[in-house]
Chains A and B, each alone.
Chain A
Amino acid sequence: MTYLEHVGKYFMMLKRVFRKPQKRRVFYQALMKEIEDLGIKSLGIIMFISFFIGGVIALQTALNLDSPFIPDSLIGFAAKRSIILEFAPTFCCIILAGKVGSYITSSIGTMRVTEQIDALEVMGINSLNFLVLPKIIAALFFYPFLITLAMALGIFGGWIAGVLSGLFAGSDYITGIQTDFKPFLIVYALIKTVIFSFLIATVPSYHGYYVKGGSIAVGRASTQAVVWTTILIVIANYFLTQMLLT
């Protein structure tokens, strides 16, 4: 299959996904389950990584701006910008693409190779709508919260790192965070998160849904899904940055 055929098939898949759910009550139950599987179960890893990477960003900035002509508050300012603009939305979404993307592909792919998707179709259920739509809604709804939390924890991690290492004063760091604060940057980060969330939910679903073969094919599809989701996030990040910030 050519890349163009995959793109066409992906959009054809989306056309079948975005239909009215056949039973609202069943859809809500599926949505709650997906919020738990894709969102709440990712809280721990995102909180852990955000806190420590925030600390590392602050330490690296402090070590590289070691000059008497540069105020220490710049460390907080630079860390805040790095975390809000790139680390939280992009880096965390790439982590989620790995964690959640492989889960989505392997769960849908296993359903495909064990004929569970055929069973849904035989019953008269739109399997794409039933399996993928709750994942998209769950990701679009939950990941902005998750990324906002990542921003806060990253900045907090930077403050803790400064206080514990003695490289800069906590008060200077807080001054830097408050300097030139632009709320649009948060909006920019959340717009990126929404786009990346859509990719995280749909690209792995595509790879899982159309998998052919057995368990090896499912494993291969999971790897491909993570690779392609990451590539698409990076490309989307470039264009979104150019569109929204220049």
Chain B
Amino acid sequence: MSDEMVSNKKYRDKQKRKDGFISLFIGFFAFVWIFPILWTVWTSLRPYNEIISYGIFSWPRKLTFDNYVNAVEEMQIVGYLINSAIVTIPSVILTLFFGSLIAFVVTRYKFRFNLTILLLFTAGNMLPIVLTYIPVFWMFIWVGELFGNRNMFYNNYAGLILVHVAFQVGFAAFVLSSYMKTIPKEISESATIDGANVFRHYWNVILPLLRPALAALSVLMTTWIYNEFFWALVLMSDDSKRPITSALRRLQGQYVTDFNLLAAGAIIAALPTVILFFVLRKQFIAGLTLGSTKG
């Protein structure tokens, strides 16, 4: 009896040590991750003057929200937020639509090249976008000129949305097809026997079952596309059409950059995604592990 208690206690001690170690480990890395963000917040509260006079690591003499007030004024934030919405919302909807279509075909129908197609779409994601941007740029210009309007895609929301859809659809197809494989084949079989055609099978049978996956994926996609800056930069020549990330660039001068103001701007620009994350964090975490149990 006492023997058992001793070993129990030993076990519990061991477990406690283990837990302590794990907490320490996680705490350390959490700190490493959160530190730059805390530092940005800290920087955003200090006036520029103090930094140039006393250095970055000096003890603060004054903490203010002035940087935030100035950033909101300088950034013309509302216009850029609307631009971000114009780009992000259609991109996410189209990506999910096309991604689910591909996933539907490659998982529900057996034909010779279905795995190849899936791999092809996923492989597109592996290309670094800086490699593809010059060809994409010229493609947009040439296709536009073919129709007599250089700006049909270039310097146009249509082009930017198209690029986002093209680059994200591979990942969406990959994730959704993994998820779709977990939906029993029998459901599809009975739908077919009941006389559902292909589109009805997709729209009325599979799509409703896909809802959790779509929700999770849309949160991820929104964050990615919202934070994306590169394509907007190279494919939009009008600054007034660029997304929120461009508003931040307004805060940088030709020579002198007020990093405290920039920090405040960065916090403001990051807020929507952070809020989105906290509101939908369940879906977010589901999204990260989506399809991980079956591949």
Are these two chains actual partners, yes or no?
no
